[in-house]
Amino acid sequence: MSRDKILAAVKSNQFNRAELPDLEILNTLTATNEPLIQQYTAIASAGGSFVYEVPDLEAIKTILHKEFKPGVKIISGIQGLDDYTFAGDVTHELSHSFADVELTILQSNLGVAENGALWLTETQMNVRVLPFISQHLAVIISKDDLVPTMSQAYAKIGNADYGYGAFISGPSKTADIEQSLVIGAHGPRSLSVFILT
């Protein structure tokens, strides 16, 4: 059986045990001392995201009403944004049925200032394909949920159990043609991040 053959070959060729390094120093370093919101906004904007600081859900509604025409299919995973189809009500539907979704609005509880990434688990996505198949994506996060670097991000995730989770740091993009950056590869053509202050 290949399994045992491979494991035996690996075992006989691996060398004396080298110890794991200590990650403690990295956990305490924070890249810069700049306030997290400013750092997050600068980096996420450079990566093609639209970042808004908003006081409440009402402010988000106003912006979304301006950006998206009535009548397009919008799915929201947020309680309190009731104008839209509630994601929790459609989780049983076939993933393919979301192909015509124009905008999905989801919640994140962890954002990373050094790279603009937002952590979303399957629970927050409701359906795994939603944040990918939508033409546009909006994510709401509280300013208190920002951390400086990926070190602190994984400290916060800890040993959480999830079926699937992803860091999403911007709109889908590619530079495969002559290194020209094009926004909107296969996933969302835009990412709007609403930071609740």
Partner 1 sequence: MSNITEKSHAELAAAFNKDEPRVDWHDETLWWVRAKRDIAAHKIPEWELLRETASQIKNNVLSNLSGYLEQFEANAIKNGITVHWAADAAEHNKIIHTLLNERGINRMVKSKSMLTEECHLNEYLKEHGVDVIDSDLGERIVQLAGEPPSHIVLPCIHKKKEEIGDIFHEHLGSAKGESDPKILTETARQHLREVFLTRRAALTGVNFAIAETGEIVICTNEGNADMGAHLAEIHIASMGIEKIIPERKHLGVFLRLLTRSATGQPITTYSSHFKKPQQGKEIHIVIVDNGRSIQLGREDFRNSLKCIRCGACMNTCPVYRKSGGHSYHTAIAGPIGSILAPNLDMKKYADLPFASTLCGSCSNVCPVKIDIHDQLYKWRQVIVKEGYSPTAKTIAMKAMAFTLSSPALYRSGGKVARLAFKYAPFAVNNQLNPWYKHREMPKAPEQSFGEWYSKRKEGQQ
- Contact positions with partner 1 (CB under 8 A) in 59-118: 95-96, 99, 112, 114-117
Cα distance from N-terminal residue to C-terminal residue, the chain: 58
Q: Which residues of 27-61 are buried (b: 16+ CB within 10 A; e: fewer)?
A: eeebeeeeebbebbbebbeebbbbbeebeebeebb
- Residues in contact with 170: Cβ distance below 8 Å, sequence separation at least 6, in sequence order: 44, 47, 48, 49, 116, 191
- Residues in contact with 23: Cβ distance below 8 Å, sequence separation at least 6, in sequence order: 151
Measured from the CB atom, is 77 or 116 closer to partner 1? 116
Measured from the CB atom, is 13 or 66 closer to partner 1? 13
Q: Which stretch binds partner 1 (CB under 8 A): 56-64, 82-90, 138-146, 162-170?
A: 162-170
Per CB under 8 A, the list member of 60, 74, 105, 133 interacting with partner 1 is 133
Q: Which stretch binds partner 1 (CB under 8 A): 56-64, 65-73, 82-90, 149-157?
A: 149-157
Per CB under 8 A, the list member of 34, 123, 144, 155 interacting with partner 1 is 155
Compute CA distances 122 → 22, 26, 165, 171, 174, whole Å.
31, 28, 6, 19, 25
- Contact positions with partner 1 (CB under 8 A) in 173-192: 173-180, 182, 184-188
The minimum distance between CB 33 and partner 1, in angstroms, equals 11
The minimum distance between CB 173 and partner 1, in angstroms, equals 5
